[in-house]
Structure formats: structure tokens, C-alpha cells
Structure 1
Amino acid sequence: MKLKLIAPYLTLIFAFLIISCSSDSSNETPVDPKAANNKSLGTAARDFLSAEAFTGLHVEIAYVNGFKPSATTINNLRNFFSARLNKPDGITITETVVPATTVGSLSREEYVKIEKDNRTVFNAGDELAVWIFFADQNSESDEGNSRILGTAYLNTSCIIFEKTLKDFSNRIGGANLTLLESITTQHEFGHLFGLVNLGTAMVTPHEDEQPDDAGVDKLNKHCNQEDCLMYFQTVGNAVGGVMNSLPTFDEFCLADLQANGGK
């Protein structure tokens, strides 16, 4: 899933910020040598949530020097996992420094290759592994005033476009960077957990429908509740200064997670 921001035009009026995610329909790219970490997005949802197959979680946080998420962001993520995942053996975090990228804006092919070349943590025994990369470039899918903030693209893989988050935060009156990092990261993990209707079944229908460019309504794997972490506009509200605290899953998303083995 891609987290996209339609940024405001540089005028003296306020422009409306829109967030959306779109399905990454590209074919899976091999991430050798561990096939268990190279499956479709959402297929590891129950593995994340329950203790049936995996009783521990090993998180590899990769970043380019200068683009490391804040200590508070990492602590927020650890608390987020503890609150929602049944992992009695706990959470382990490994940090990996990735060489600076030189290709400019990153395509899916490029960030999958970065993972293949640098990922060191894979599923082992009863420990589930996940890779999250904080990138020093923006997304190649950025177009016009549209910006991709993060993408969950395989069952245990996601990327955060840290450069884009920094650009928004560094503007005059920009949102707090730690807040942007935390919301974007936790939103993408919501997709890895199978939300919404992406590997974790809905207890009550609550998947949002938004018209596409042709005006056709389609399911977009987000929650239809505006106060939910998985609402399509959540990060846009943070960027726009509307939000000053971390959102959480609403009652419908929580019910879905709990029905699939989570807390």
C-alpha cells in the first residue's frame, strides 16, 4: 500500500490536503534467500498479530545516515507493537545503516533491491522478522503536487520516504517530524497487519470507498472512520497541523485485529 499526500500549492490560501494509499499490484520481486519474507502484502497478518506461529518479533530498522527516525519514533513503534501484538517473547530491534542512494527518486525495483542487498534479519524459528527502511530519497511515484510518504509492499517489508517527511516538517509552520514519522510508520504497519480487509477479515464492514480519477467508487483498503489511524486522510491532517497527537485504531479496526489473533 502506498501512502500518498497531495501537498498544498504555494499560495497565500490554505489548500486541502488529501491522503490516500493505492494497491501495489506489481509482481513480487524475489528477496533471496528467505522465501517466507517474500510473500504478498497482508499474508503475514496473523503471524504479526498472534502467537500461534511466532512468539517474538524482530524489527530491522534500516536508514541512511542523516535519515534515522527519532528515538521517540522508535519508542512509539515499540509501544505500538506491545499494545497490539501477542508476542510473549518480546520485541527485538536491530538498526542497520544503509549506504546513501545515488539514483535519485526511488522506484519499487530500486527499494526492493536495497532491501535485498542490505536486509540481515529474516524469520527464524518462532521469531517473525520485518524490514522497515527510512529512505534518503523521495518516491519515483511522486507526480505534480502528489507525494508518497510510505509504502508497505511485501508481507514483512515497508519503506518510509523520510526525505519527504523532512521536507514537509522543515517548511515554515511545518508539522513535528516525530509525529509525521510515527503516524506514517504505524499506518503502514496497519497494512502489514492486514488492514483494512487486506488479509485480516472485517468483523463489521468499514472499508472506505473513494472515487478514483474516473469517478468510480472502489475499495481502497482504508477505514471509513475519520478518527482512525487507518483513515486515508490521517497523515494529511498531521501535515496540515490539524492533528497534534498520535491517532489510534478505531473500534472497527481493533475488532478486526483482535479477531485475527491480536490484542
Structure 2
Amino acid sequence: MTLNKITPYLTILFTSLILSCSSDNDSAATTTTDPTLANKKALGASARDFLSAEQFTSMNVEIAYVEGFRPSNTTLSNLRNLFSQRLNKPDGVIFTETVVPASTVGALNRDEYTKIEEDNRTVFNVGDELGVWVFFTNENSESDEGNSRILGTAYRNTSCIIFGETLRDFSRGITGPSLTQLETVTTEHEFGHLFGLVNLGTPMVRDHEDETADDDGEETPNKHCNQDNCLMYFQTVADATSTTMNGLPTFGEFCQEDLRANGGK
């Protein structure tokens, strides 16, 4: 597959915005004593919990993956560096690895990967430790359409999915980009959304939310940065699928300001 045939993008899902989703998965509760409810909120709801040490002084990131789709050690090392650079977690960050049975239903929709999380997630908020779920699946996204491919999706306050088969589609072949490059950029971009970027739980210090004209010509905020040198720029993932990317992107100046103002580094 080549870029002139397929245009990839990262997407975000949260209650009543961007794509439809079942509200009972995010906010409805049958009991107030369910210990997992704090990890079933809307995307962006835990932005300050990630960034500051006010409530959570440590973090446990569950790296869930289907056999054969484990992210590389370099990807995980890059992710650790990101946390060290941007999060105030004085008691540290640990990774918990969980092998998830391979999906056999084909391309996944939201209901399906939410069910996978509910069946397999073991790490939740406990005391002053923030729990996070990152799932590297063996499937593509059901939302892929035409020339658009989705590489990753942040969909709850502490949950995101990385579509491992799609990443491999782009990395295969002589001219394909590094799989580690794709894993790193995709995962760090989705964590940016979990951190509340852009204007998604972390307020903007300066206005820098990208606005793209819709079919009616109206400009619509899309929760990405309008600075083209930023990890949260909407085009970043397309650049990551190219072998011409020069190094790994980082948060731009405006996004860094937002993170620091909301308790981060």
C-alpha cells in the first residue's frame, strides 16, 4: 500500500462528539461502588490526573496486545521518555503487559474494542496510582473508508487502541516506514489526546486548535493543533507513514504551554 492510494489519520472518540458511541459504555452506571467507573469517563476527563501529582503520584500503563503485535522495546522506551518529560509522577510509571486473544471478527468497531477492554483489562485506578489501557490489536478499524485509514483511537479517559494490522500494512515492503516509527508516533499522539490536547480537557493558553472547513464550508474545531511542527498536528500521522520523516515529532510550543498550565511539565 502506498500513500498516494491510502491516506491515514488518527481519530478520537468521546461522548457525543466526532463519531457516535453508546453512552452507556462511558457514563451510565448501575452501582456507585464499581471500582472501574473512574476509568470509564469521557475522553479528556482525566487530563489533569495524567499531568499533575495532585491525585495520582504514579501510573500503571497496561500494554495489552495480541500475540505477534507487541510494540517494540524501542517504542516502549520512547513512551517512557515522553512520560518522564511531560508528566509529574514522582512515584514513577510502570508497564504491565497483558496478552489478549486474537480477534476473529475482522475490522473492529467501537462496541467491539470496548468489549475487548472490558473482558481483558486488569489495571484500574488504585489509591494514588492512575491506571491506563493501551491495546495493540491484530485488526484494522471498521471506520476505515475509501482512502482513509485509522491508525489509533483514544476513546475514553484512560483508554486507547492502536490498530496494529494497519501499522503493519504501511511498514511492509522495501519503501515502507519503520514499524517502530509508526508505533511511537501513533501511540504518543493518542496519549496527547488522553492528556487533554487539543482543547479536550486541557484548556488552551493560546488559541491553537485547528479548524478545517466541513462540506458546508464552515470551520469546525477538530481537537488537533494548527502548528505543523507539532505531534498533535492532524497531518503528523500521514508524515509518519513516510520514510522521509526527519526524526520523531514532539509537542509544539503551544501544546507544551497547555500541558504545563494544567499541571504537567
TM-score for the superposition, normalised by structure 1: 0.92
Query: Where do 5+ consecutive residues of structure 2 fail to align?
Result: 13-17
Q: Which amino acid aligns with 1:146?
A: S
CA positional deviation for 1:105: 0.4
* Structure 1 unaligned regions, length at least 5: 1-5, 11-16
After superposition, the Cα gap between the structure-2 partners of 1:109 and 1:193, relative to the gap in structure 1 and judged at 3 Å, is same
Aligned counterpart for 1:77 among listed residues 73, 76, 79: 79
**Matched ranges for 1:132-151 at <5 A:** 132-151=134-153
- 1:255 lines up with 2:250 in the alignment: no
The answer for the alignment partner of 1:27 in structure 2 is 22
Report the aligned-residue RMSD: 1.7
- How many residues matched? 252
Measure, in 1, the Cα distance between the counterparts of 2:47 and 2:93: 16
Task: Give the whole-Å Cα distance in 1 for the aligned partners of 2:216 and 2:172.
Answer: 34
User: Do residues 67 (structure 1) and 69 (structure 2) align?
Assistant: yes
Partner of 1:8: 4
* Residue identity in the other structure for 1:26: C
Secondary structure at the aligned position of 1:189 is classed as: helix
> For each residue in 1:3-34, what CA deviation from the matched residue of structure 2 results, as whole angstroms up to 9, or x when unmatched?
xxx94228xxxxxx564535344234159651
Whether the aligned pair in 2 keeps the contact of 1:160 and 1:185 (CA below 8 Å) is yes
When residues 33 and 171 of structure 1 are mapped into structure 2, their CA distance, relative to the original with a 3 A threshold, is farther
Q: How much has 1:169 moved relative to structure 2? A: 0.3
Could you say if the C-alpha distance between residues 20 and 62 of structure 1 is closer, same or farther in structure 2, counting changes exceeding 3 Å? closer
1:37-116 equivalent positions in 2, closer than 5 A: 37-116=39-118
Q: Give me the whole-angstrom Cα distance separating, in 2, the residues matched to 1:41 and 1:49.
A: 14
What is the Cα deviation at residue 242 of structure 1?
A: 3.0
Structure 2 letter corresponding to 1:211:
A
Deviations 1:170-195 (A, max 9, x none): 03301111011000000000000000
> 1:129, 1:104 → 2: CA distance?
28
Cα distance, 1:228–1:84 mapped onto 2, change above 3 Å: same
> Which AA in structure 2 matches 1:8?
N
TM alignment of 1:101-250, pairs within 5 A: 101-250=103-252
Q: Is the 8 A contact 2:71 2:183 kept in 1?
A: yes
Secondary structure of 1:97's counterpart equals strand
With 64-73 and 165-174 compared, the bigger mean Cα shift is at 165-174
Following the alignment from structure 1 to structure 2, what is the Cα–Cα distance between the partners of residues 247 and 163?
Answer: 22
**Residue pair 1:7, 1:145 contacting (<8 A) in 2 also:** no
Aligned residue type for 2:5: Y
**Contact 1:21/1:220 (CA < 8 Å) preserved in 2?**
no
Amino acid at match of 1:34: T
Q: Taking every aligned residue pair, what percent have the same amino acid on both sides?
A: 65
The residue type equivalent to 1:9 in the other structure is K
**2: distance between equivalents of 1:213 and 1:65?**
41
- AA paired with 1:247? P
Change (3 A) 1:18 1:161: closer
